A and B are shown apart, each in its own frame.
Chain A
Amino acid sequence: SAVISQKPSRDICQRGTSLTIQCQVDSQVTMMFWYRQQPGQSLTLIATANQGSEATYESGFVIDKFPISRPNLTFSTLTVSNMSPEDSSIYLCSATLGGYNEQFFGPGTRLTVL
């Protein structure tokens, strides 16, 4: 299994600012992902974080708004840029150890934008 930590656990931000969320995994994983969970909703995949290259974004999400880095196998960051109240959500990082196996999730970052 893999243990995933995220920082910060929560934040309250002002409109127009940016926040960078960090995700750290305790083992070398193959795939890392970022999801968004809007209030009262299910999870939606934002992008796949690729090691050493640009992330692969899902429809509706763009790099300018959600830049992602993954400098090594165990660490990734997601930045929420130029925030608006509509960005208020829980952002979750996940990872897999390889193959078609279970995906492990971090505890999430609860973001509120005023």
Chain B
Amino acid sequence: SQQGEEDPQALSIQEGENATMNCSYKTSINNLQWYRQNSGRGLVHLILIRSNEREKHSGRLRVTLDTSKKSSSLLITASRAADTASYFCATDADQGAQKLVFGQGTRLTINP
């Protein structure tokens, strides 16, 4: 079964606005990763945040992690049409095995 739940399932915003997606998980983790998938293609790794980190930035991306609430958020600032994609969070739920369990994903649409 999926460990992660993401909300919203779908998000539609105007170009230039910020987009926030949330992810919740159930078990303890070593790290949490965010991926982007364009139109059913392969996954592009965006950012990894470790369990002892609270916030991480990469370009227009900001990820937070709250292990006490077992939740994470991905913020995309100043969105662009090219950001239109599905975004997934993934956790390594089985410590030592490096296996990833994916959330259901958020479908983000940026309107020009």
Partners in one complex: yes
Query: Contact residues of A with B, CB < 8 Å?
Result: 4, 31, 33, 37, 41-45, 48, 58, 90, 92, 94, 96, 100-108, 110
Which chain B residue lies CB-closest to A31? B98
Which chain A residue lies CB-closest to B86? A42
Cβ B98 vs Cβ A45 within 8 A: no
Minimum C-beta distance from A38 to chain B (A): 11
Quick one: which of B40, B45, B97 contacts A110, CB cutoff 8 A?
Answer: B40
Complex Cα spacing A49 to B2, Å? 21
Cβ A103 vs Cβ B98 within 8 A: yes
Minimum C-beta distance from B77 to chain A (A): 22
Complex Cα spacing A53 to B35, Å? 30
Minimum C-beta distance from B85 to chain A (A): 14
Q: 8 Å CB contacts to A: which residues of B19-45?
A: 30-31, 33, 35, 40-45
Cβ B45 vs Cβ A42 within 8 A: no
Q: List 11 A-B contacts (CB under 8 A).
A: A42-B2, A43-B88, A94-B43, A101-B48, A102-B33, A102-B45, A103-B33, A105-B42, A105-B44, A106-B42, A108-B40
Minimum C-beta distance from B4 to chain A (A): 8
B50 within 8 A of A: yes
What's the interface size class on B, roughly?
Answer: 20 to 34
Complex Cα spacing A103 to B33, Å? 9
Contact A43 to B45, CB < 8 A, known contacts A100-B30, A103-B33:
no
Quick one: which of A43, A58, A107 contacts B102, CB cutoff 8 A?
Answer: A43
Complex Cα spacing A102 to B90, Å? 10
Minimum C-beta distance from A97 to chain B (A): 10
Instruction: Give the residues in chain B near A45, CB-CB below 8 Å.
Output: 99-101
Q: 8 Å CB contacts to A: which residues of B74-102?
A: 88, 90, 92, 97-102
